[in-house]
Every structure is written in structure tokens, then in C-alpha cells.
Chain A
Amino acid sequence: GQSLEQPSEVTAVEGAIVQINCTYQTSGFYGLSWYQQHDGGAPTFLSYNALDGLEETGRFSSFLSRSDSYGYLLLQELQMKDSASYFCAVRDLKSWGKFQFGAGTQVVVTP
């Protein structure tokens, strides 16, 4: 089976940097994905790490360490619109259409 752990909530001020950690236990591994969901909206794909290291996409970066079974999403220069839930997810090796998601981290950005 697979399980992913991430913090339930993080609060930060505008302009700050936030790191959302995700630790996972899997029997196999395709890579780690990150999704953003605003309240009432669709989960939206943000980033994917297939290999160890850092992937940067604008203000957002994602990191993966396979040896540590750990990844993180880094949100820089926080803006009010970044207030949302962020989910890490891994794909099931036995059923490629199936993703296992973490419980999500609610990021609250304050003025």
C-alpha cells in the first residue's frame, strides 16, 4: 500500500516563503506530483518530480529525494491568491490510472 503525510495547515504573510513537506511510503514509485485546489475549485496540476532534485516553475518549486522518501513544494513571494489547499500525490504502480493523494495542506496567506 501507499501513504502520504503532509501538514494540515500552514499560515504565512504575503511575500514570505512556505515549504510544504510530503513524506511517503510506497511499494513502488513513478514520481511525486503536486496539485493546488482553491476552495470550490478543481485540483490543478502544479508540478511533477520523476527524478531527485529541484524542479522550478516560476514562484513554485518542487523537490524530491527518493532515498529519503520525501519531497516538498516551495512557494516563494507568497501572494494572497496562493491561499489554497496543496496536495502531494503518487501514482499506483499496479493501476496506472490511480493516484494516491495526501490529505492536503491548507495554506493561509495573511496581509
Chain B
Amino acid sequence: EAGVTQFPSHSVIEKGQTVTLRCDPISGHDNLYWYRRVMGKEIKFLLHFVKESKQDESGMPNNRFLAERTGGTYSTLKVQPAELEDSGVYFCASSLGTELYGYTFGSGTRLTVV
């Protein structure tokens, strides 16, 4: 089965521009998560979708970040306008249910804002 796919793998944009990251979860996984790792620090939770609904978006840093999951399949994360501090690796993960041990991550999108 295909894993969690993220696109693009790398993105370099200028401050003030807009970037949209995409995540395709494992087929059939209702749960989709976005995480971010900034500057070698911890991997931090951004939000959690159950199908197309936002279950928890407590980790979204501010209103420049917009996540969507129309139709409950793939998800997008838009940053508009991007700031320097948004640079980092954005990870997506998915799970079928409430597996206590964790879920399957994608390889991430490395975002650099210059």
C-alpha cells in the first residue's frame, strides 16, 4: 500500500508570498495530522482532521495558516503570507483509528522562507 505522500518535498519562497503544501494520506485513513519541526526543535502538533472535519486545531500558530481537507481525502496547508519564522519541515501523518502507539508519517515538506 502507498504511504503518506507529501508535495512538494522542498519549497523556497520569499517572505510575503503564499505557499500551499499538500498531503495524501494512506487510502482509507480517516485521521490526518499536520506537524511541524522548526530549526531542529521538537516536532510540534498543528492540527488533526477526522475525515473533513477539524478535530483539533490548537497547534495552528496564527491565522496565516489555513488547513483544508475537502472530501475527507487529501489535505492542503496554506501559509499566506509567509514569514521567515515559518521555515521548517512540515510533516503530515495519517491513521486509521485511535492507535495508541502512533501513526504513519510522510517524508515532509522542507519550507524555506527567505
Q: A residues touching B (Cβ–Cβ < 8 Å)?
A: 4, 30-31, 33, 35, 40-45, 48, 50, 87, 89, 91-92, 95-104
Contacts and interface: CB of A to CB of B under 8 A. Distances in A.
A101 B58 contact: no
18 contacts: A30-B100, A33-B102, A40-B110, A42-B105, A42-B108, A43-B105, A45-B101, A45-B102, A45-B104, A87-B43, A97-B31, A97-B95, A98-B33, A100-B45, A101-B43, A101-B44, A102-B42, A103-B41
Given A42-B105, A97-B48, A104 B100 contact: no
A97 B42 contact: no
Contacts of A44: 105
Nearest to A92: B45
Nearest to B43: A101
B91 A43 contact: yes
Interface in B19-50: 31, 33, 35, 40-45, 48, 50
A89 B102 contact: yes
